[in-house]
């Protein structure tokens, strides 16, 4: 088990694959931990250096008191790469992880050679929506929100055909700390990366599940358009296509790596 300590916060990481391979950093979504990528990694080309981490308040990482800022989350990601002495990584970011990828590419271009944005945007939702969710989490915890979140995470077919897996993902969501979940909600609420992302000049692609109820495909496509990046629709997937269609996600990442890295 490996960790990185940044600003007295312990971040749980996994650093796998070839030490001198092309580094790929994976940043996960709100309410999930680094296991959200488990089905994708075995399908990627051999020879990569695959780095994952639990952002603050999630998984096995520390959960400092909320609220958090996007700048703080970006700095955590930078600290992971700095500690591992990694530069020019491809950043694969899902949802808030995609916002972290955009912010990292803007703040630390020395660390980033390209970004893969998955079910994310330069700005996600109105601030009041996040303020309401933060209050709900602080008042009653995550469990009362879980059904609504899972409805956005997964397409109807997944709910119908994978009840056991659905229960496991619900457990992951509900076991996220209140500070971690609410803190990251605050970071999303306060982040508008539109102009920073528009100014990025690096290889990028974006993808989204056709059934995503959290970041609809048109929102993801608009962020891709800011960078002039290709957009790919993953039919039949919700907000977590890396879970519902890992083969398609891995193929898109592999093609991007072949073209850019």
pLDDT tens profile 43-68 = 999 999 999 999 999 999 999 999 99
3-class DSSP state of 87: coil
Sign of the CA dihedral 145, 142, 171, 60?
Answer: positive
* Per-residue pLDDT, 261: 74
* Per-residue pLDDT, 91: 98
- Return the ∠ at Cα 94 (arms to 139 and 253), rounded to 5°: 165
pLDDT tens profile 209-250 = 999 999 999 999 999 999 999 999 999 999 999 999 999 999
* Per-residue pLDDT, 246: 98
What's the mean pLDDT in 68-77?
A: 98
pLDDT tens profile 109-125 = 999 999 999 999 999 99
Rounded to whole angstroms, what are the CA distances from 70 to 12, 58, 100, 187, 239?
19, 15, 7, 5, 20
Instruction: Cis check for the bond before 229: say yes or no (omega within 30 of 0).
Output: no
Let me know how long the chain is.
261
pLDDT tens profile 80-109 = 999 999 999 999 999 999 999 999 999 999
The pairing of strands 231-234 and 204-209 is: parallel
pLDDT tens profile 180-192 = 999 999 999 999 9
**What does the H/E/C string look like for the chain?**
CEEEEECCEEEEEEEEECCCCCEEEEECCCCCCHHHHCCCHHHCCCCCEEEEECCCCCCCCCCCCCCCCHHHHHHHHHHHHHHCCCCCEEEEEECHHHHHHHHHHHHCHHHEEEEEEECCCCCCCCHHHHHHHHHHHHHHCCHHHHHHHHHHHCCHHHHHHCHHHHHHHHHHHHCCCHHHHHHHHHHHHCCCCHHHHHCCCCCEEEEEECCCCCCCHHHHHHHHHHHCCCEEEECCCCCCHHHHCHHHHHHHHHHHHHHHC
Model-level pTM?
0.98
Averaged pLDDT score across all residues of the chain = 98
What's the mean pLDDT in 156-173?
A: 97
Share of the chain above pLDDT 90, in %: 99
**Residue 151: pLDDT band by 50, 70, 90 thresholds?**
very high
């Amino acid at each position: 088990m490996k960790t990185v300590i940044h600003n007295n916060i312990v971040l749980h990481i996994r650093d796998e694959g070839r030490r001198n391979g092309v580094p790929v950093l994976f940043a996960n979504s709100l309410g999930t931990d680094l296991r959200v990528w488990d089905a994708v990694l075995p399908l990627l080309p051999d020879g990569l250096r695959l780095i994952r981490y639990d952002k603050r308040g999630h998984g096995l990482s520390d959960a400092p008191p909320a609220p958090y800022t996007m700048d703080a989350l970006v700095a955590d990601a930078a600290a992971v790469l700095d500690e591992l002495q990694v530069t020019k990584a491809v950043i694969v970011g899902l949802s808030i992880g995609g916002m972290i990828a955009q912010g990292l590419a803007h703040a630390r271009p020395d660390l980033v050679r390209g970004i893969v944005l998955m079910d994310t945007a330069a700005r996600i939702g109105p601030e009041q929506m996040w303020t309401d969710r933060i209050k709900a989490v602080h008042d009653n915890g995550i469990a009362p929100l879980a059904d609504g979140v899972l409805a956005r995470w997964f397409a109807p077919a997944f709910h119908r055909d994978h009840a056991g897996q659905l229960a496991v993902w619900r457990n992951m969501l509900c076991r996220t700390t209140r500070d971690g979940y609410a803190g990251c909600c605050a970071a999303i609420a306060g982040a508008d990366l539109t102009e920073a992302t528009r100014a990025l000049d690096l290889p990028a692609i974006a993808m989204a599940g056709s059934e995503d109820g959290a970041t609809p495909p048109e929102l993801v496509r608009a962020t891709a358009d800011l960078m002039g990046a290709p957009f790919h629709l993953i039919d039949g997937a919700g907000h977590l296509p890396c879970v519902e269609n890992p083969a398609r996600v891995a193929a898109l990442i592999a093609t991007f790596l072949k073209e850019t890295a």
